[in-house]
A and B are shown apart, each in its own frame.
Chain A
Amino acid sequence: MQVLKNIWSQLHRFVFWAIISTIFWAWIFTLITDAPQAKKVTVYVLTDSCENRALEEALEPARPEGIRMVRVHPFSYVLFDTEDALNADLYVIPGSQADDFLDSFTPIDGETLDTGDRELFVRNGQTYGVKIRDGAAGEGAASAYLGYSPGEDYYLFFNVSSPHLGSGDGAALRIAEALLRLN
């Protein structure tokens, strides 16, 4: 009883410590598990669900030299870090919403990207994206990790400001190819 009384009398100190601990360890673990934009390839996916940790691991073998990590975030993550979403390298977005974001995507006509026989997303005579999932056939890449909406086509796009395209180290292109190859 005396212990509870003592704790109650100094509750503000215990609460303050819990808050400080939470902020401090969140910061430390972000430092450990994150990398600057130049050292990572970030993929944002706008799907119904996303096994992002598992997908990151599946893409890990395709990680080029000089890149420390591949991060995959569902779009809900934008709530926590808008800047991260704006600086992402790749986006997986439903075809029905792609035109809304077209200004953020870069044409990939000149890029050395192996798309196989996949359908391309073409606007104004330029290729912006690669179909990653065919809604009609119900088949798509990385289906084990991404929960696509039934009947919806999905495309893979590249951020216009990504430093990992052909003019940079090309890491985003290699990760994109690996993503398109996943089952």
Chain B
Amino acid sequence: MDTICEMYRPEDLLRLEKKIKRERAWVWGLAGVTLALCVLFCCLTDLRSVEWTEPAALICSCVGGWLVIYRRLFGLRETRFELDHAARQAETPRSSLTGTLKVTGERMRIKNSIRFRVLLLDDGERVRRLKVNETRVKKLLPFDGKRVTVLLADGYVAGIGGKDAGT
């Protein structure tokens, strides 16, 4: 069966790995700059300057820490979840289902994994609920309401394939 729309191509995995490195550099860089600034404020401290160096170090520590937390949680961690998900999809054997695809607005999340969107696939006998990575939904939008063969891996949509896909 030919696959006409893959959720992840090999270059996507490389791109995600690069993004993880970039995010990690951001997090460590931010943490380093924050710590360096706080140490600088400590070095500038004496009995007179403590009135501004202490609040300055506190503000710097809070803001820097918040940025690090944000980048780590919503940059680095999300990208790592996506890379793990993509790697699992690449390793897992695929199965296929054919039916009419409907992309819903229902978003869900499994703890310590990716956010996903719920899809409905009507094969004429029953309607199945499928999942696809939230960041990949736009690849499926052209097939919304059309009859397709869906390739599943690890419980998620890994691609659209088949001779009658998109008809």
Chain A residues proximal to chain B, CB less than 8 Å: 6-7, 10, 13-14, 17-18, 21-22, 24-26, 28-29, 32-33, 53, 56-57, 60, 69
Q: Once bound together, how far apart are the Cα atoms of A17 and B46, in whole Å?
A: 26
The one of B50, B58, B66, B70 that contacts A22, using a Cβ cutoff of 8 Å: B58
User: Does any Cβ of A come within 8 Å of B135's Cβ?
Assistant: no
B45 & A32 in contact (Cβ 8 Å cutoff): yes
When C-beta atoms are compared, the residue in chain B nearest to A54 turns out to be B48
Given contacts A25-B38, A33-B46, 13 further A-B contacts (CB under 8 A): A6-B74, A14-B69, A17-B66, A21-B61, A24-B61, A25-B54, A25-B58, A28-B42, A28-B57, A29-B42, A53-B48, A60-B47, A69-B47
A6 touches B70 (CB 8 A): yes
Q: Looking across the interface, which residue of chain B has its beta carbon closest to that of A20? A: B65
Name B's A-contacting residues (CB within 8 A): 38, 42, 45-48, 50-51, 53-54, 57-58, 61-62, 65-66, 69-70, 73-74
A60 and B54 alpha carbons, distance in the complex (Å): 21
Judging by beta carbons under 8 Å apart, are A29 and B45 in contact?
yes
Q: Which of B47, B50, B53, B70 has the most CB of A within 10 A?
A: B47
Most chain B C-beta atoms within 10 Å of own C-beta, residue among A14, A25, A29, A32? A25
Name A's interface SS. Answer: helix
Please measure, in the bound complex, the distance between the C-alpha atom of A53 and the C-alpha atom of B66, giving whole angstroms.
33
Contacting residues, chain A, for B69 (C-beta < 8 A):
10, 13-14, 17
B65 with A33: CB separation less than 8 A: no
Residues of B contacting A69 with CB < 8 Å? Answer: 47
Given A14-B69, A21-B62, also A29-B47 (CB < 8 A): no
Q: How far is the CA of A32 from the CA of B38 in the complex (A)?
A: 13
Q: Indicate if the CB atoms of B74 and A21 lie closer than 8 Å.
A: no
Is the beta-carbon distance between A25 and B45 smaller than 8 angstroms?
no
Instruction: State which of A10, A17, A29, A56 has its C-beta within 8 Å of the C-beta of B62.
Output: A17
Closest to B45 in A: A32
* Pair A57/B48 contact, Cβ less than 8 Å: yes
User: What chain B residues lie within 8 Å of A14 (beta carbons)?
Assistant: 66, 69
> Whole-angstrom distance from the CB of A15 to the nearest CB of chain B?
10
A69 to B47, CA, bound (A): 9
Whether B73 and A33, one on each chain, are in contact in the complex, defined by CB atoms closer than 8 angstroms, is no
Whole-angstrom distance from the CB of B19 to the nearest CB of chain A?
A: 17
Q: Is the CB of B42 within 8 A of A33?
A: no
Supply 12 A–B pairs (Cβ within 8 Å), ascending by A: A6-B70, A6-B74, A17-B62, A17-B66, A21-B58, A25-B61, A26-B58, A29-B42, A29-B50, A33-B47, A56-B47, A57-B47
CA distance A12 to B41 in the complex (A): 27
**A57 to B53, alpha carbons, bound, how many Å?**
18
Complex CA distance for A57 and B51, rounded to whole angstroms: 14
Q: Which residues of B contact A13 (CB under 8 A)?
A: 69, 73
Q: How far is the CA of A69 from the CA of B45 in the complex (A)?
A: 14
- A17 to B, closest residue via Cβ: B65
| Complex Cα spacing A32 to B42, Å | 8
